[in-house]
Every structure is written in C-alpha cells, then in structure tokens.
Amino acid sequence: MLIMPKNQPKIAQLDLSIVIVNYNTRQLLDDCLASLLAAEQPPNGAEIIVVDNASSDGSQEMVRQKYPAVRLIASEVNRGFSAANNLGTAVSNGRFILFLNSDTCVDAKSLTKPVEYLTNHPGVGALTVRLVYPNGERDPDNHRGFPTPWNAICHFSGLSRLFPSNPRFNGYFQSYQNMAETHPVDVIAGSYMLMPLPLCRDLGGWDETYFFYGEDIDFCYRIRQVGYQIIYYPHVEVLHYKGASSGLRKESADIARPPKATRVKVAKESVRAMKIFYSKFYRQQYPWLVTAVVLAGIQIRGWFRILKHQLRRNPKNN
C-alpha cells in the first residue's frame, strides 16, 4: 500500500516500507492495518506489504477487500517468520524497513518519530519502540541482552529477579536501564524492528534456518557484529497482543486459539531456535562442557514446554 502525505508529490523513493507477516490473525491484522492508516505518515510516504503464510481464516480475502492498495504476498505454504519477512524485503522500496507483527496497533507517531531518529543517526542499525500489552505493562522481550550462558543461568535460576538493579545478574532483560530514555540495547523483538533497508539486504536478511522464534536475536547479533547500535526508543508506544499466531503466550490467551498441533509445532521450533543460535554464535566461544550443559538445559526445558502443550486441550471457539 502506498501512502503519500497530503499535498506532497510522489517521489522516486519512499521513506518507509512496512512488512507484516500474518498467519491466521485476521481480525488483529485488520486492526493493525487500520492503525497504520490512521498514523501520521513519513514526509516521503510509506508502503505496506502483507506476507500471508497460508492462513485459513480469511485473512487474504479481508486484505483484498478492505485494503486493495496493500501489497499482498499470498504464500501457498507456511514458510515461517524469517522466510516470509525476506519475501517482503525483496519487494520493498523504502529507505527504511519496518518489520511489524500483525498483533500490534500503532499510535499516531509510531512511524514518523522513529524514522526521523534513524535519519538523524546513521550509526544505528535497528530501532524499536515501547511495546505494551493490553493491560499497559511493558513487553520485556523487546528489551534484552544476548542469551549468553551466564545471562541464561541468572535468568532461569531467578538471580535476575533477586538482583534486578545489578547489571551483573540482570543481563537477560536489562531492566536496570531507564526505560523512559532512549538508549542502546543488545536485542529487540521482531514485533517492531525498524532498520535501514540497505543494511538489511547487506546482512542477507533474516536467517531462514529459523522457522519461528530466535530469528530476531540472530538478526540483532549480526547487526551488532558489523558495528551498528541497536536503539530502544520509548517515546512512542505500540500495543502488542503477543503470541497471537502461536498461542503460546498468556498475554493473548483470550484472543489466540490456534489448534494443539500449531502450539506443539511452535513449542518445538522455539527449542530448535535456541539450539541453532547457540551453535551458530557461542559454540566456539565456550568450553565444550559449558556448551554441553547449555544444550542439555535447552533440551530439558524444551521437553517440559512441549509436554505442556501436548497435554493442553484444544480451545473452544465461542
């Protein structure tokens, strides 16, 4: 969808391409697109690209009927989050690209102020905003450190909760930072990730080895590897229902009702994602014993997560 500001001529390059991956979140996608249309647009306009991963809930028909100017890429199979984002990236034309989840709603300044910040800070490789749940709580997964063995131990052992203000023990969520001020952070979520389009392409886009989960951590690691900052910009808010496609999150339990097969598949993929990330970036950095313990911990925790969803009944649709 091409959105030009009023009283401005169309120019060669847009400011922003917005890529939204959708899988069976028809109503949430509708709300997300409506919020984008209501938001202030960057000076040189924006385009919206929806990549649908073979939804069966009428999402594609809804986009075609209600938003005919949106560019819809309708996949015949569910390619996963990374592959779908890459499909959207391939047809993007903006100076910047925003990867936005379908279960979000933006506010009036959610496009213009972040684009302005990136324009004025060329050393920034990615930016996110303050994501909040419907109850007003901040989404902690959008402000994290890398999952090093030490950070993971502190997080899963509870040390980070005992010493939330100590960077040594709370490197996982880094909640000791001032969340009201703009500051660098290691990891942001793919729910709202804004970055220069040329950098995205130079890095090869999203790693399609990941199907769902972990791909945003991987992307952030590669952005940091080439020397760019990642910025947490809390001066605009975006509503995030969280986990609407996967059904694994309590934050969206009232609205997300995917079948058991989907939940179990995503749970398995979340375990596989952590193994991929650790093997890709950390295996050579730590002794073999540390690696063995970490991978065993990932697998054991994964078994419990998968079992929980295998035992959970399919939700009843009202």
Do residue 224 and residue 291 come from a single domain? no
Asked whether residue 171 is assigned to any structural domain, the reply reads no
User: What H or E segment, with its residue span, contains residue 75?
Assistant: strand 71-75
- Output the pLDDT for position 318: 47
| Same domain, residue pair 299 and 195 | no
Distance between CA 59 and CA 104 in Å, rounded? Answer: 15
- Whether 209 and 278 map to the same domain: the answer is no
CA distance 282 to 302: 19
Q: DSSP characters for 85-110? A: HHHHHHT--EEEEEEEETTEEE-TTT
The structure's pTM equals: 0.86
Give the pLDDT band (50/70/90) at residue 286: confident
* Domain count of the fold of the chain: 2
Does some domain include residue 251?
no
Is 157 domain-assigned? no
Residues 40 and 111 in one domain: yes
Mean pLDDT along residues 153-180: 92
Note the pLDDT tens digit of each residue in 179-214: 999 999 999 999 999 999 999 999 999 999 998 889
Determine, yes or no, domain membership for 151. Answer: no
Residue 158 covered by a domain: no
Separation of alpha carbons 143 and 277, rounded Å: 18
Separation CA 254–CA 23 (nearest Å): 17
Token code pair at residue 285: 């950095």
Same domain, yes or no: 17 and 81: yes
Of 32, 37, 86, 63, the residue nearest 245 (C-alpha) = 32
Q: What is the pLDDT of residues 78-112, one digit of tens each?
A: 999 999 999 999 999 999 999 999 999 999 999 99
Domain that holds residue 296: 259-318
Q: For residues 186 and 170, what is the distance between their CA atoms, to the nearest angstrom? A: 13
Strands 192-196 and 94-101 come out as antiparallel
> Same domain, yes or no, for 192 and 44?
yes
Is residue 162 situated within a structural domain? no
* 264/199 same-domain check: no
Verify that 267 and 235 share a domain, yes or no: no
